Amino acid sequence: MITYNAQAQTFTLHTKNTTYQMAVHPTGVVQHIYYGRRLRDCDLRGLVRGADRGFSPNPDEAGRDRAFSLDMTPQEYSTCGVGDFRLPSIAFALPNGSHTADLRYCGHAIRAEKYTLPGLPAFHGEGGTLVVHLEDRAARVGVDLYYGVLEEYDLITRAVRVVNRGSEEIQLCRCASLCLDFLRADMDFITFDGRHLAERSPARAALLPGVRSVGSVRGASSHQHNPFVVLCEQDADEDRGLCYGAMLLYSGNFEAAVERDQYDGSRLVMGIHPYHFCWTLAPGACFDTPEAALVCSSGGLGEMSRQFHRAIRNCLIRDSRANVRKPVLVNNWEATYFDFNKDKLLSIAKEAAALGVELFVLDDGWFGERNDDNSGLGDWRVNTDKLPGGLEALTPELEKLGLSFGIWVEPEMVSEDSELYRAHPDWAFQVPGRKPSRGRNQLVLDFSRQEVRDHVYGQLKEVLSSAPVAYVKWDMNRNLTEVWSAGLPPRRQGEVFHRYVLGVYEILERLRTDYPDILIEGCCGGGGRFDGGMLYYTPQIWCSDNTDAIYRLQIQYGTSFCYPLCSMGAHVSAVPNEQNGRSAPLETRGITAMSGAFGYELDLSKCTPEEKQEIRRQIETYKRRWELLHCGDYYRLTNPFENGPYTAWEQVSQDKREALVSLVAGGAQAAPPFRLLKLKGLDPARDYRVNGGEAYGGDALMYAGYPLPLMQGDYAGLQLYLEAIE
């Protein structure tokens, strides 16, 4: 619900459990007043106070009121160069060379539908929009603040549109999607950081005076930091405390910065990273930022995550199968790498089909002259030496086995050793006069250019039309360097990073429109582009190139703070694991993988009869329990970074009639103590039968705990299925 109090000039956004209020100050500055637990309708302006403070300037409209300073007052969208010395949200260079931005309220609109953003991902669903119009009169620049309110999901979205109303070009050098001021700084900042093969480990620290910022200047949202951050009360944990989660729906360079100011207020600013960002706005032109989304939960980090999961599943992922079981797949990458032919693929496929797998995914190496990772990218036509007769010959054989077919592509890249590069060397990013850097011995295509995208998409279309393709894995195996486009004049090179992302979104949208039934899995060397922007186009994302089930406990745990389990590609792979040499039991590998978008990635024809039996059992369990696994409410029961005796998590059905507890023990122990595992989210008044055997009260399971059996061996796994007794 969005309300406007004309007398007080306040705007109040109510969701089911939260309230957000802002007010137009007599100077015209739009102040941020409150965001937190839901309150009755009231005027909260009294929360914000001012005082005459040294070295905090007063705007002209304040007259002799020295108590009002932009440097202290909380704002909806911070400016620069006119008295607020904290983190700016916007900066532009005017034709006269000035770098000041000063914004005042000039109107608003309330709409019954949630806004959309042209060419950019955005949440959808039932909800309203508030647009607050601001303007910089001297610069003749309009700034519209968009607020989307998805009441049922406790989700508030933000986006910004900047319009040049002047008669000359201006340069937009910074334009955040979100600015959120707090009247407090006694909070922790949680970021999700890592590296290739070890993505999204939570890092939590109290706010100290000054700025802490994470981000990416790699052209992708990155393995190193995720465009999702949390600010929370210092004693907040999984079950208690006020938490604010902020996600940016963007897959390129981003920055999430938080500042604790001199008077113990704080400010979170999130948006496109200002590094090498400079957008020319011609007279009359506008610029739209990516969307940011906020969830505020007073019930701890667990509740915050569950709100994001529901909202992402129902209002961001557009795949018609978002809440439908995805096919169990087998992927040939770790089974064969580049060394395969049709017979080898079919031998894996045959075993897979017999075990209950439904989709065969052909990974890298099926196209061009691609026999290793030094060549072939850009030549998207089937290598008929490896696959005689092309996909037209392979897919009927898979169909006979009852398998649908999926294919890997990496459309944004080009190998220098390819026909595409030989014909169009200028289509790859490189700066004139410099030698380009290589990553995995490949270059990045300039997807800011329409003709480059059209050419690549044309090739993809031919492949996808040559056979029934049910799934596409869209990979990206390096970051961007030497970013310079032959398609833009020198003064507009600061647009290329963002135009690249818009280009990726455009081609993905075309793919979705032309092939609505194809399931697209995003990938960037695993989890290097795991963000809300990609999830809008690709309902699942390969979570990490690290397939070790024990390491995955941490990666999937960190990822789950924002993203739902059904979006995390997770496969059972062979042991010793290819990335770290660890050997986890097959049962444990199955338990970890089936919490995500489930599949296998090993040569099934090499499995023993016992292993095949276990795989068959896993697939049956997944098919029976997928709804609980993917649509149930998710509870983190332990933190795998704390090196406790086990890692456990739980999914509970919406009606609390069923639950599934998954547990993976650490290294083997001699004479281990008996342990009780406290469950969450059950109905305390109901009794639950555990694995078809003994029954326990929901209250007893939550407040006393479930008596865990003693477990033998390293990394043993356990699953408990709970069913309420009617």
Is the Cβ–Cβ distance between 163 and 103 less than 8 Å?
no
Closest CA to 283 of 131, 94, 531, 102: 94
Q: Does 377 bind ligand DGJ (CB under 6 A)?
A: no
408 binds ligand DGJ (CB under 6 A): yes
Report the nearest approach of ligand DGJ to the CB of residue 367 (Å): 12
Shortest distance, position 331 Cβ to ligand DGJ, whole Å: 7
* Stretch touching ligand DGJ by CB under 6 A, among 272-280, 427-435, 518-526, 617-625: 518-526
Closest among 385, 371, 314 to 337, alpha carbons compared: 371
Distance CA 122, CA 415 (A): 33
Which of 333, 471, 634, 688 is in the footprint of ligand DGJ by CB under 6 A? 333
CB 544, min distance to ligand DGJ, A: 8
- The widest CA-to-CA distance across the chain, in whole angstroms, is 85
Q: Is 77 in the site for ligand DGJ (CB under 6 A)?
A: no
Identify the residue among 545, 548, 633, 658 touching ligand DGJ (CB under 6 A).
545
User: How, if at all, do strands 90-93 and 30-37 pair?
Assistant: unpaired
Least Å distance between CB 406 and ligand DGJ? 12
Does position 363 bind ligand DGJ by CB under 6 A?
A: yes
- Assess whether the previous peptide bond of 468 is cis (omega < 30° from 0): no
The site for ligand DGJ, by CB under 6 A, has a size of 11
| Element containing residue 395 per DSSP (H, E) | helix 390-400
Distance between CA atoms of residues 21 and 13, nearest Å: 6
Q: Of 171 and 441, which has the nearer Cβ to ligand DGJ?
A: 441
Interface mask toward ligand DGJ for 459-478; x: CB under 6 A: ----------------x-x-
User: Contact at 8 Å (CB) between 296 and 241?
Assistant: no
Q: Where are the alpha helices (H) located in 466-607, listed in sequence order?
A: 496-514, 532-537, 549-559, 586-594
- Which of residues 279 and 537 has its CB atom nearest to ligand DGJ in the complex? 537
The residue range among 127-135, 311-319, 493-501, 522-530 that interacts with ligand DGJ, by the rule CB under 6 A, is 522-530
CB 580 → ligand DGJ: shortest distance, Å?
16
- Residue with Cβ nearer ligand DGJ (380 or 408): 408
What residues does 164 pair with on adjacent strands?
Answer: 141
**Given 245, 406, 526, 681, the residue binding ligand DGJ (CB under 6 A):** 526
| Radius of gyration over every alpha carbon of the chain, rounded to an integer in angstroms | 27
Of 46-54, 61-69, 395-403, 521-529, the window that binds ligand DGJ (rule: CB under 6 A) is: 521-529
What is the closest distance, in whole angstroms, from the C-beta atom of residue 613 to ligand DGJ in the complex? 27
- For residue 412, give every residue at least 6 positions away whose Cβ sits within 8 Å of its Cβ, in sequence order, or none: 444, 445, 447, 476, 504
Least distance to ligand DGJ, CB of residue 540, Å? 13
Q: Measure the CA–CA gap between 448 and 570, rounded to whole angstroms.
A: 31
Q: List alpha helices for 413-527, DSSP H.
A: 419-423, 450-465, 496-514
260 token code pair: 């604790």
CB-nearer residue toward ligand DGJ: 288 or 475:
475
Closest CA to 415 of 371, 455, 383, 457: 371
Provide the angle, in degrees to the nearest 10, between the axes of the packed helices 609-631 and 342-355.
Answer: 70
Q: Is 612 exposed, middle or buried (0-12, 13-18, 19+ CB in 10 A)?
A: middle
364 binds ligand DGJ (CB under 6 A): yes
Q: Which of 190, 330, 523, 659 binds ligand DGJ (CB under 6 A)?
A: 523
**For residue 150, how far is the Cα from the chain centroid?**
19
Query: At 336, is the secondary structure helix, strand, or coil?
Result: helix
Active site residue 475: yes
Residue whose CB is nearest to ligand DGJ in the complex, by number: 364
338/641 with CB nearer ligand DGJ: 338
Q: Which of 181, 545, 548, 633 is catalytic?
A: 545
Closest distance to ligand DGJ from the beta carbon of 525 (Å): 5
Q: Does 244 bind ligand DGJ (CB under 6 A)?
A: no
Q: Which one, 175 or 335, has the nearer CB to ligand DGJ?
A: 335
Nearest residue to 457 via CA among 405, 499, 509, 415? 509
| Minimal distance, residue 672 CB to ligand DGJ, in Å | 36
Asked if residue 189 binds ligand DGJ (CB under 6 A), the reply is no
* Contact call for residue 548 and ligand DGJ (CB under 6 A): no
Interface segment toward ligand DGJ; rule CB under 6 A; list 112-120, 344-352, 519-527, 715-723: 519-527
C-beta closer to ligand DGJ: residue 337 or 641 = 337
Three-class SS state of 502: helix
- Binds ligand DGJ by CB under 6 A, chosen from 227, 525, 558, 698: 525
Local structure of 724: helix, strand or coil: strand
Amino acid sitting at position 618: Q
d(CA 341, CA 332): 11
For the CB of residue 316, give the shortest distance to ligand DGJ in the complex, in Å: 23
Q: What character string, x for contact with ligand DGJ (CB under 6 A) and - otherwise, covers 150-179?
A: ------------------------------
Beta-sheet strand order (sheet of 18-24): 2-5, 10-14, 18-24, 30-37
Altogether, the residues listed in the chain come to a count of: 726
Give dist(CA 82, CA 89) in Å, integer.
13
How many degrees, rounded to 5, is the angle at CA 202 between CA 199 and CA 203? Answer: 120
- Span of 160-168, 375-383, 498-506, 523-531 interacting with ligand DGJ by CB under 6 A: 523-531
Residue number, 227 or 406, with CB nearest to ligand DGJ: 406
**C-beta of 408 vs 696, nearer to ligand DGJ:** 408
Binding part of the chain for ligand DGJ, among 60-68, 258-266, 520-528, 631-639 by CB under 6 A, reads 520-528
Residue 542, interface with ligand DGJ (CB under 6 A)? yes
End-to-end CA gap in the chain: 38
CB of residue 476 to ligand DGJ, shortest distance in Å? 9
DSSP state of 678: P
Enter the tokens of residue 544: 């990490």
> Residue 533 CB, nearest distance to ligand DGJ (Å)?
18
CB 120 within 8 A of CB 249: yes
Of 379, 475, 548, 633, the active-site residue reads: 475
The catalytic site residues sit at 475, 545
- Where along the sequence are the contacts to ligand DGJ (CB under 6 A)? 333, 363-364, 408, 475, 477, 523, 525-526, 542, 545
